[in-house]
Structure 1
Amino acid sequence: MMMHGLILWIFEAFVRLTYGDQVWEKVLTDLDLHVQSVEPMFHYDVQIALSILRQLSIEQRRDRNSLLEDFGTFLVTDPRVERVRRLLRFGGVEYTDFLHSLEDLKGRAHLAVPDLTLPDILVDEVSPHVFEVTCENSPKGVPYVLLGALRALADDYGSLAYLDVMSEREHSVVISVSLLERQHAEGREFLWATDGAS
């Protein structure tokens, strides 16, 4: 399975900005990859990405899934990747609207980057304000990136939500989202129109 270099390139930015350039360079050196940086327009074997994640986990003495959750949070909260947040926030004006729009995320991303492949996402509102988000056909660990992004976006919308991985199988992970308060706090400002600076 191949991964778009754009994803790995943003992950490189996450590692460099969170842990420092030396950590990223040491991870690549320890893996003997003979590269210093990722090319965002290339495609990489997903095993390379998994090897980098595994080595970073060893280097930082962190669980891989928690690292991926942090990466998902980074995608929403760091202003240097504001375009990712905008892509997600265009799903709706409230957090519940956004959750319902997740099934369309793959198509929206494809419009922005035609050769970018995202996992299939299914959303089921099992009871009022309780959702099950199923992430299918994705490389191992990717649903934890989604989990981190969903948590960060609840804060972004000003909502109070409890999220947890409900079940995990080889090709499918179900995330439970319980919306406790729709408007718990003031959300981050989001402008539907942009001046082109972000």
Structure 2
Amino acid sequence: MMQLLFLVLFSEGVVAFLLLVKIGPLRELVIKSLDQLKMKRGTVLTIAGTMFAIFMSSFFSIVKIQNRGAKLGSMSPMDQVLWRTHLLEASLMGFTLFLGFIIDRMHHYLQKLIGLRRNVGASKEELEKLQKEKTQLKEEEEKHSKEVKLLKEEISALTKSLKKLKAESDEKDKRVETAEAHVAALQKQAADLLLEYDRLLEDNQNLQNQALGYKS
């Protein structure tokens, strides 16, 4: 029994040490082994409960031997041997149970730590991805800004050209209006000249007729 308890205590010490100190892949191996062991939770609780029951039995045996020695005034050599044996067993079992609890808590918090590191790694990857997307968006924004600037310059140039063409068109319209007015004036003048010419022809004809009348 003692040898088994020492072996269990030594094994728990090695496991606790490997959980505390990372030596190659040993920590991951121990964590996986503990994961598989925790899957058999009923068996583990049964073993722990049995050890606790033995621990309490040894503890009560120690108390019983002490009470008997107190009544007799001193313990017999046999009671002393039994008392020391039970004390050693109780001590080993207590340390074993305590170390098992420590290992369980260490395993629990290491799993949480590993999960947090994975989340942090995923968050870093996501952050890097977002930063790359932000850089790409910024580059595209700068590119679009340059394109918008060029388009504004083109629109400004086209606006100036349109204003210039409109001014030229207005000037040409004024010239056309002036020319049309001049043509209309010339047409009126020509019409007046034709009327005057017809009148002169009529007067000339009348004068010729009068001249022929005098001759006859």
TM-score (norm 1): 0.24
Identify, as 1 or 2, the structure richer in strand: 1
Higher relative contact order (CA 8 A, sep 6+): 2
TM-score (norm 2): 0.23
Identify, as 1 or 2, the structure richer in helix: 2
